[in-house]
Amino acid sequence: MFCWELAPRKVDVSLRGALLNGMIGGLRLVDVLDIVIVSALCWIAIAWVREAKARVALGGVAAIGALFWGATWLDLRLTTNLLQGFFAIAALVVVVIFQDDLRRFFEGITLWLVRSATPRPATDALEILEELCFSFARGHVGALFVLPGREPLARLLDGGHYLGGRVSEALLRSLLDAGTPGHDGAIIVRGAKVDRFGVHLPLSTEWSEIGEGGTRHAAGLGLAERSDALTIIVSEERGEVSVAWRGRLTRLEDPAELHALVERFLDRTAKRRREPWFKSRVDLMRRHWREGILAVAVASSMWVLTGPGASLDRTSKAVPVVIENIPEGYRVASIEPPSVNVEFEGRRRDFVLAPQADFQVRVDGDLVGQGRRTFSVDEAQVEHPPELQIVGMETIKIRLSVESP
């Protein structure tokens, strides 16, 4: 006995194309708004991942998340159940690992919306600070200055004394005098004034970045890792000036180099003039257009998979007829009709993923040897993917043209 099949076994590209075109053609205004919102969230998340200290660990979590998503898509129940238990615990672990980064992430969203900016120091105050740093370096006087950015620093600063005095060479020299209380701490310069002095900063543990630096370098880098503030470090031992910003420590050679770095910092955190909210956000998007393209691609994929791809749909499909158990010596010359129209219901993504070979109408041809040429077809004879349900089928008779021995 053998199976005889006349219908072509090929992927139903037209059906898949029609379903995909239906997804795109069925876009509504609310769907576009949905994609825009998710794209914005993805954009912010991608920017946060690039700045997060523990982004390597986050990559591992993302890989497991992708595996879980794929297992859910393919209905791999054992893998899905196993990973569900993992994520129940991993959610708490992620919060613990990324607590500082998550705090900065949510603070950044608020600051982005309200357009917060730090006061820009006066030109004469900046010149005094930049020249004095190298003067201290030549005299081997240690110093640590902090220029706050847009993010709040209150939770990261400890101790110190409030002052509020205008920046001047005499004031800064007196604050760093060995006999002054808090001379070993950091000096917070906000605008054109010394806000606080003798402040303790969180220490960094990135020794590869700190190199031969001491406690001042660890403190300056520690604050730069946890905020968008810029710190200027003057080494007492080596007579060098360094800047810590955005988690990186840079050693400088002259005041001009320091001035250029401070200007870059102020361009990102301070406002020279009041710009329209929309224009400032467009400028920000232009600087991060690559992340924007990736975010839109991710959001669109998520919409296709979880939006229309997950909705129920009904589709009529021509299912090919397969004749089985043909007696030996007989050959089926033709089948009329060669396929049966069956209406299925299921998720759109299941229609798109289902191979054509999984759809068959099986007819037992054992009675061909006894002269039978007409066979009735019903739903019980239709093979199809289990994710899809038959909701309608025309009751027809299959007529065979058989060549006998």
Torsion angles phi and psi, residue 311, rounded to 5: -80, 155
In this prediction, residue 3 has a pLDDT band, given cuts at 50, 70 and 90, of very low
C-alpha distances out from residue 378 to 116, 321, 358, 361, 371, Å: 70, 12, 17, 9, 21
Mean pLDDT, rounded, of the chain: 76
Q: Is the peptide bond before 337 cis (omega within 30 degrees of 0)?
A: yes
Per DSSP, helices labelled H in 329-396 are: 348-353
pTM, rounded to two decimals:
0.52
CA angle (31 as vertex; 29, 32 as ends), nearest 5: 65
H or E element in which residue 186 lies: strand 186-190
327 with 348: CB under 8 angstroms?
no
Q: pLDDT tens digit string along 230-264?
A: 999 998 888 889 999 888 888 988 888 888 898 88
Closest CA to 322 of 361, 374, 380: 361
State the CATH architecture for 2-12+310-403. Beta Complex (2.170)
H or E element in which residue 396 lies: strand 396-403
The arithmetic mean of pLDDT across residues 145-173, rounded, is: 86
Closest CA to 373 of 334, 340, 328, 319: 334
In this prediction, residue 151 has a pLDDT band, given cuts at 50, 70 and 90, of confident
Residue 338: DSSP 8-state: S
Q: Does domain 123-270 have CATH number 3.40.1700.10?
A: yes
The arithmetic mean of pLDDT across residues 94-116, rounded, is: 63
The arithmetic mean of pLDDT across residues 178-190, rounded, is: 82
172 with 194: CB under 8 angstroms?
yes
Cα 111 to Cα 338: distance, rounded to the nearest angstrom: 66
> What residue ranges do the domains of the chain occupy?
2-12+310-403, 23-114+279-306, 123-270
What letter represents residue 117's amino acid? A
Cα 158 to Cα 113: distance, rounded to the nearest angstrom: 28
